[in-house]
């Protein structure tokens, strides 16, 4: 069963001489797979060891490639990766905010790899996932993981936690992409806070509310532009759903996976390439 | 007209010998009011000088009291503050993400006050607002402002900005309240990601999505508890609306300001005091 969060007795930085000792310590329960977890319960740990050559390890930010589709030596990609097993478990952790233990092995090509054996490097959040063509031409599924600061008490799927009556505040260093608040402001003014998908305006005390949603995601690793031709005015629901691949927008602005079409006013020139890039991130949206 | 963001020639830290020179530099256009801005266009600047005794200035985090209801010497509160004029302008900035210039004066009782004159201290976001009883027994409106790291180019309400094709990443230090991800996870599992207000489950690639919404807000200055009896499972739309006072929940779980009632399952014991505290933050919800 999945067991999320810190494992008592093994704080961040704990070192292990072998993969088997990582398993015995219950930090990662699988003998071979990189991802520990099942689709229905979520992933609670990953091991970064050999890995894919296009993985990126920036320490607090990791771009991790999913599993499956490789030949028996785990050398070459010979088929598409699918949203099943460990990959589906990591998406479950993304959608539900489950913390994932990250263990690095010495074969990892990264300045953060341990010199020998394995090291537990703390808890990460899965903050996005997408599909792209690997060097082989087959689909690979990728995950963005960001380090969590602050302690997360251990927890399994089955018990209801008590929580914290006096949650602490903590100072931490984060790396963010600077968004130009003028852009999200301009898009909300163009549409008067009405969602371009459903037309809803969220009514709050003192006014209405909407969100500026980037079509081609900004920040690592997608590096979309923070410009009006790459932003939509969406309600929070359609923003959350769009970012997580729940629907897409076709070149003619009809919606993919949900009914209807995007409301676009003449003053708002959307760059069609941005819509295409977003669709390319989710196979369900690209093949329709 | 409102003019948001940095004013060219006056970077953060610029000092001024008088309030009039702050006005001439166009950092804050009013001669007397603390808040510069109109309800329809948003507030672009505030001055912290004498201020209310229960204002809190923690440097990067400011709890600021709105305007109105004081006697002509601005000494005593003699009536409720209302969501009009400068107060409504600050709420507009909150809902639309407008950056607010913060200027501190030497009469401010704070370790961050300048020794003499006035100092421009950079851009802040208004991140929440609420109403509370002041020491006088009258309602006062309060605002939480948090410092923005990174540059925001200047912008007025009328021109459409170009934006940034290559937004930068920047490292900054932030203070956050540590949330126990087990709590939000537990609430989502109890309701299977269905919103307790509208029943919607947001469908994404690989699963459904919902949010754990705190009833009594956690973090400064409210310090609610991060426990199951203080959390709701909401869709992002109802979460955004609840946090911004668009609706409330009565003691019998009927909804205030919107139709219907909250779906609460027996395993989920909500502490009624938390619902009351949330309602007390917004006069529209308390008087019904």
pLDDT tens figures, B155-170: 554 455 667 777 766 5
Quick count: other Cβ atoms within 10 Å of Cβ B70?
A: 18
- Which H or E run includes B276? helix B272-280
Under 8 Å between Cβ of B69 and B140: yes
Contacts of residue B244, Cβ cutoff 8 Å, sequence gap at least 6: A204, A205, A206, A209, B94, B95, B128
pLDDT by residue, tens only, chain A of 288 residues: 888 888 999 999 999 999 999 999 999 999 989 999 999 889 999 999 976 766 789 999 999 999 988 887 767 888 999 999 999 999 999 998 889 999 999 999 899 999 999 999 999 999 999 998 888 889 999 999 999 876 555 555 445 566 777 776 655 555 566 666 778 888 998 999 999 999 999 999 999 999 999 999 998 889 999 899 999 999 999 999 999 999 999 999 999 999 999 999 999 999 999 999 999 999 889 866
* pLDDT reported for residue A213: 95
Strongest mean pLDDT among A40-44, B65-69, B110-114, B271-275? B271-275
Alpha-carbon span B64 to B61, nearest angstrom: 10
Contact B167 A203 (CB under 8 A): no
Residues in chain A closer than 8 A to B177 (CB atoms): 167-170
- Percentage of residues in chain B having pLDDT higher than 90: 65
Alpha-carbon span A37 to B49, nearest angstrom: 56
Residue B199 near chain A (CB below 8 Å): no
* pLDDT reported for residue B3: 87
Residue A284 near chain B (CB below 8 Å): yes
Residue A179 near chain B (CB below 8 Å): yes
* pLDDT reported for residue A53: 65
Contacts of residue B83, Cβ cutoff 8 Å, sequence gap at least 6: A205, A206, B91, B141
Min CA distance, A287 vs chain B (Å)? 14
Residue A160 near chain B (CB below 8 Å): yes
B178-207 mean pLDDT? 89
* pLDDT reported for residue A91: 95
What average pLDDT is seen over chain B?
A: 88
What's the whole-model pTM score? 0.85
Output the CA torsion sign for B266, B268, B272, B276. Answer: negative
Quick count: other Cβ atoms within 10 Å of Cβ A167?
A: 22
B113-126 mean pLDDT? 95
Quick count: other Cβ atoms within 10 Å of Cβ A250?
A: 16
Name the residue with higher pLDDT: B97 or B277. Answer: B277
Contact B200 A237 (CB under 8 A): yes
Smallest CA–CA distance from B169 into chain A, residue: A177
Name the residue with higher pLDDT: B51 or A24. Answer: A24
Alpha-carbon span A288 to A276, nearest angstrom: 12
Quick count: other Cβ atoms within 10 Å of Cβ A25?
A: 16
* pLDDT reported for residue A236: 96
Quick count: other Cβ atoms within 10 Å of Cβ B192?
A: 10
Complex ipTM: 0.85
CA dihedral B53, B57, B62, B65 (to 10 degrees): 10
* Long-range contacts from A142-145, C-beta under 8 angstroms, 24+ separation: A142/A63, A142/A64, A142/A65, A142/A66, A143/A63, A143/A64, A143/A65, A143/A66, A143/A90, A143/A94, A144/A61, A144/A62, A144/A63, A144/A64, A144/A220, A144/A221, A145/A46, A145/A61, A145/A62, A145/A63, A145/A64, A145/A100, A145/A102
């Amino acid at each position: 069963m999945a067991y999320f969060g810190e494992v008592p007795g093994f704080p961040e930085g704990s070192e292990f001489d072998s993969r088997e000792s990582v398993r015995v310590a219950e930090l990662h329960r699988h003998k071979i797979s990189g991802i520990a977890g099942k689709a229905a319960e979520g992933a609670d740990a990953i091991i970064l060891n050999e890995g894919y050559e296009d993985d990126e390890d920036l320490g607090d930010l990791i771009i991790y490639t999913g599993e499956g589709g490789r030949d028996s030596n785990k050398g070459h990609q010979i088929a598409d990766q699918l949203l099943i097993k460990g990959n589906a478990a990591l998406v479950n952790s993304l959608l539900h905010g489950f913390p994932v233990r990250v263990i690095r092995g010495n074969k990892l090509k990264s300045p953060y790899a341990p010199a020998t054996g394995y090291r537990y490097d703390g808890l990460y959040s899965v903050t996005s996932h997408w599909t792209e063509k690997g060097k082989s031409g087959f689909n690979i599924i990728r995950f963005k993981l960001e380090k969590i600061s602050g302690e997360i008490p251990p927890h399994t799927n089955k018990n209801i936690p008590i929580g914290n009556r006096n949650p602490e505040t903590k100072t931490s260093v984060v790396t963010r992409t600077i968004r130009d608040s003028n852009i999200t402001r301009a898009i909300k003014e163009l549409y008067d806070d009405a969602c371009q998908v459903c037309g809803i305006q969220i009514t709050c005390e003192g006014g209405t509310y909407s969100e500026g949603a980037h079509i081609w995601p900004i920040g690592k690793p997608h590096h979309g532009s923070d410009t009006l031709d790459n932003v939509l005015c969406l309600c929070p629901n359609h923003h959350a759903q769009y970012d997580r691949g729940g629907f897409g927008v076709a070149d003619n602005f009809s919606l993919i996976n949900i009914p209807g079409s995007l409301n676009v006013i003449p003053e708002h020139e959307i760059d069609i390439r941005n819509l295409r890039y977003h669709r390319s991130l989710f196979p369900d949206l690209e093949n329709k």
